[in-house]
Structure 1
């Protein structure tokens, strides 16, 4: 009798642990941090058209959506990388544990996804015309 109760407790603990692990919202959250770097360093970084800093940096992106990361540096061509959501293994964990409620929550808030690529590194290509997005350049006034 004692052996059966022990097995029941072990199974219950394993199932409870599996159920907790399967919820991507708790484990992963709804955002993902993506490291962004460039060669050379110091490129301006734009996420979905909004300036967020210069390389090297990290950006916090919502897992649910596609994002465009653009790097810009004077004397170099702009480079744009698409970051896309793909289903993570947490979906299988939810389904195996019978956590359809957890899966529904993860589907709604996007935490069932992971973003790829998980890191962005761009080797900037020299451009023919210097360009700076962050400031407008005026030619000197000449008479």
Structure 2
């Protein structure tokens, strides 16, 4: 029994370390043809291509890509609800608290709710940005 408790404790600690604290973020690689375009995220300059932008998963974002001699490109990054990880975490948590099917169901609902509120249950799309810039005439 104590070996099971130790194993479950180790799993819980691993989950806590992997989920971390704060606003969940997602890195989105951005590349352009030609290279060297400036990328703005929600109006703030963040990098020059090729690069990756780190965006919070709690909201949609607007990427603006500019380069002298080329037309500006605007791309909306939207979040999509992806409850799979929250459901998995809820099942693990429910098993850790006793394994009763009713408790597991409650833990799943609780985990999905928590991850939806924090933004963890969302993924940003597109998750890779590749744009061919159009020369100005």
* Whole-Å separation in 2 of the counterparts to 1:32 and 1:68: 14
Which of 103, 110, 129 lines up with 1:120 in the alignment? 129
Q: Partner of 2:35 in structure 1? A: 41
- Residue segments in structure 2 that go unaligned for 5+ positions in a row: 95-106
Q: Secondary structure at the match of 2:120?
A: coil
What is the number of equivalent residue pairs in this alignment?
Answer: 121
Q: TM-score, normalised by structure 1?
A: 0.67
* Whole-Å separation in 2 of the counterparts to 1:25 and 1:77: 40
Q: How is 1:1-143 mapped onto 2 (pairs within 5 angstroms)?
A: 17=11, 25-26=19-20, 30-88=24-82, 89-97=84-92, 98=94, 99=107, 100-128=109-137
Contact kept in structure 2, 1:25 and 1:106, CA below 8 Å:
no
Query: What displacement does 1:34 show?
Result: 0.7
Aligned CA-pair RMSD: 3.1
What stretches of structure 1 move > 2 A for 4+ residues in a row? 94-105
- Greater helix share, 1 or 2? 2
- Residue segments in structure 1 that go unaligned for 5+ positions in a row: 129-143
* Whole-Å separation in 1 of the counterparts to 2:87 and 2:135: 45
Bigger Rg, which one: 1
* Whole-Å separation in 1 of the counterparts to 2:117 and 2:85: 14
Q: TM-score, normalised by structure 2?
A: 0.70
